[in-house]
Structure 1
C-alpha cells in the first residue's frame, strides 16, 4: 500500500491529476507512459500503469466513466533495472567489520550467513530463536534456555508481509545458526535488554529480534538507509541494498561447492529453477563438471 501510494503521488497525480477523468484519453496515457519510460525501469512502469488502471476501474464500476482507457494502452519498455549483485569475500569481511558498531550488526550477520530475506529478518521473533538442549534432546527458545549452549537455530516461519506469512510454504524452514550469527544475536539480545530498560513504559513489546529503540517494528526504508551507511564505512560504496546480502550468501555457498539443491533449500525456494533464474550470476558454473570429468577419464584424445 505504501509503495503504490508513493507511485501515485510521484508519477500519476502530478502528471495526470489536472485532467478530469472523463476527459482522459488513451493518447494521454500513451504520452504519459512514454515520458516515464525514459526514467523508470520496466517493472516500475508496470506498477505505475497498474495504479491508473485500477483507479479508473473503480470509477468505471461507479458509472463515472464509460470505459477504462488505461487498459487500452500497452505498457512500454523502460530503462533496464540495476541487476542485483553479490559481495566478494573481501567486501563481505570489510562490511562485517564496519557493521560491528551499528545497531544492524546482528541483522547483517544473520542475513549474510544464512541467506534469509530482509522481510523475514524484520519479522523474526525471539521465541523463534532456539537453543538445542542435549539432556532434553529438543530445541527450546532462547528466551527460556538462554545463550549458554553450543547449538542454535532459527525458525523462519514469518515475514514482514500482509498476513505475516513467508513468501511461499517452502519458505518456512528451520536453519541452524553458524557460530558467528549466534554470537551476534547473543550480543544483540544484551543490547536490546538495555534499550528496553532505558525506554521504560515507552517500550512496546512485540517480541521482535530486530526493532527500534522502543520495541516497534523496523521500517524497511530506515533499514536500507542504515545499511548504506555501513557499506559506505566499509569502503564499498552506497550502491547496495540489504537484499543483496541474500545474493552474497548464495554466491559464497556456491563458491564453496555447495550443491544448488542445498542452496535452494537454505534460501527457501520450492525448487532449483527459481534459484538458477534469480541468482544465476552468483552461482558457480557447475554445468561444466561433466565435461571436466570425462576429460579426466578419457583424456584429451584427438578425434577421427
Structure 2
C-alpha cells in the first residue's frame, strides 16, 4: 500500500533524524522576494507534531507572531532598559538598571519569556517581600510589567502575565518624620553660621522641595518686593521642570528667610544659583544631606538619621499645629489638591485628625449642659 499524498495546504510531516522528533510544516505564504514563509511544529509523535502545528497556525490566524524559542525574560528586560527609558534622567536609568540587575534578572532572567507564568511572578514577588519594602516591590513589578509589555508589542510573547499579578505587602520602609517646634527652633539656632544655614532656613520656613531649592536662581528671588518672594519654577529634574504643573508656584518669603538670604547674598553668593558649591556649581544631594545631618546633630537630633526632605514634612506639621486649613497647606506645598497632602503628610496633619474629637466634645458638652 502506498501512503496517500497530502493535499495542497495540508503541509508536510517528516522525521528529523538529527533532532529525533517529528516535524510538521506548512507554507503560509511568500515574502516579497519570493521566499516561502514556513510555520513548523515538532513533537515526539506524529500526533504531537500536528497539534503543535495547529497551535502555531491558530496564533498566525489571530495575528500573533511566534516568539523566538530562546527569547528570555532577561532579553526583554535588557531591551526595555536599553530602549524603553528614552528621555529619562541618568539617575532614573541608573536606578532602574540597578534594581533590575539585582532583583529581576538573577531571579527570572533565565526563564523563557513565553514560558513565564503568573505563578512564577507571584512566587518571585512573595520571596522579595521578605526583605524589600512595598514601595520597592511596586517598582520591580512596574519594571517587569513594562518590559514584558514592550516585548508583547514586538510580538515576542502572546500576553503579559505580569499585569495579572498583584503587589504583596513588603517590609515597612523608614517612615518620614517631622520636627517639633522645640526641635525646629534648636535646628535654626545651630544652623547660624553654618554653610547650609540659608538652605535650612528657607527649606523649613517655605516647605520647598530639596530638588527645587537646589535649582533656585537669584533671578527668581525678589528680596525687595512687597512682599518679598521666590518663584519656585524649576527643579533639578530632567529638563528642569518641577514635579507637577501645580508645583510651579510663587511663595512669599518669611522675614527670617529674607534676612538670611540677604546675608547669604552679601557673602558672595549673589549670582547664578542661590545655593551652590564654592565654585558656583549645583549642590549634590548627598553633600546636602551630609551637611544637614551635621547641623541636626549639633541641635541634639541624634535619635534618627534626619534628611533634608523632612524639613518639608516639618513645614506641614508646624502649619497644621498652628491651625492652618489643609487646603491652604496643599497650595503652599504645590499639590493639585488635598489628596496627596493627606496621603503623604497625614501624620503631620494634627488639626485634621483631632477636629472630630474636638467637635464631639463640644456637641455633647452642650447637650449635657442643656
> TM-score, normalised to structure 1's length?
0.76
User: Which residue of structure 1 lines up, in the alignment, with residue 369 of structure 2?
Assistant: 301
Where does residue 316 of structure 2 map in the other structure? Answer: 250
CA distance in 2, matches of 1:18, 1:187: 60
Determine which structure has the larger helix proportion and give its number: 1
Aligned positions of 1:1-304 closer than 5 A: 1=92, 2-19=94-111, 21=113, 24-132=116-224, 152-193=228-269, 207-237=272-302, 238-285=304-351, 287-288=355-356, 290-291=359-360, 298=366, 300-301=368-369
* Counterpart Cα distance in 1 of 2:364 and 2:268: 57
Which runs of no fewer than 5 residues in structure 1 stay unpaired? 134-138, 140-150, 195-204
The CA distance in 1 between the partners of 2:331 and 2:119, in whole Å, is 48
Q: SS at the partner of 2:131?
A: coil
Taking a change above 3 Å as real, the CA distance of residues 5 and 107 of structure 1, as seen in their structure-2 partners, is farther
Report the count of equivalent residues: 274
Structure of larger gyration radius: 2
Determine helix, strand or coil for the equivalent of 2:229.
strand
1:114 deviates by 0.8
1:45, distance to aligned residue in structure 2 (A) = 0.6
TM-aligned CA distance change 1:54 to 1:255, over 3 Å: same
Poorly superposed stretches of 4+, deviation over 6 Å: none
Q: Is the 8 A contact 2:323 2:351 kept in 1?
A: no
Distance in 1 separating the partners of 2:170 and 2:109: 22
Q: CA deviation at 1:182?
A: 1.8
1:274–1:30 Cα change, 3 Å: closer
Of structures 1 and 2, the one with the larger relative CO (CA 8 A, separation 6+) is 1
When residues 101 and 285 of structure 1 are mapped into structure 2, their CA distance, relative to the original with a 3 A threshold, is same
RMSD: 3.0
Q: Distance in 2 between matches of 1:8 and 1:229?
A: 34
Distance in 1 (alpha carbons) for counterparts of 2:340 and 2:154: 41
Deviations 1:80-130 (A, max 9, x none): 333322101121122223333543221111110111122221221110011
**Structure 2 CA distance for partners of 1:25 and 1:261, relative to 1, 3 Å:** closer
Runs of at least 5 residues in structure 2 that lack an aligned partner in the other structure: 1-91
In structure 1, how many angstroms separate the alpha carbons of the residues matched to 2:305 and 2:208? 20
Query: Partner of 2:46 in structure 1?
Result: none
TM-score (norm 2): 0.64
Q: Distance in 2 between matches of 1:252 and 1:215?
A: 33
Q: Distance in 2 between matches of 1:86 and 1:80?
A: 18
Displacement of 1:158 in angstroms is 1.9
* Cα distance in 1 between the residues matched to 2:268 and 2:132: 40
**TM-superposition CA deviations, 1:48-85 (whole Å, max 9, x none):** 11112222333334444444343343221212333322
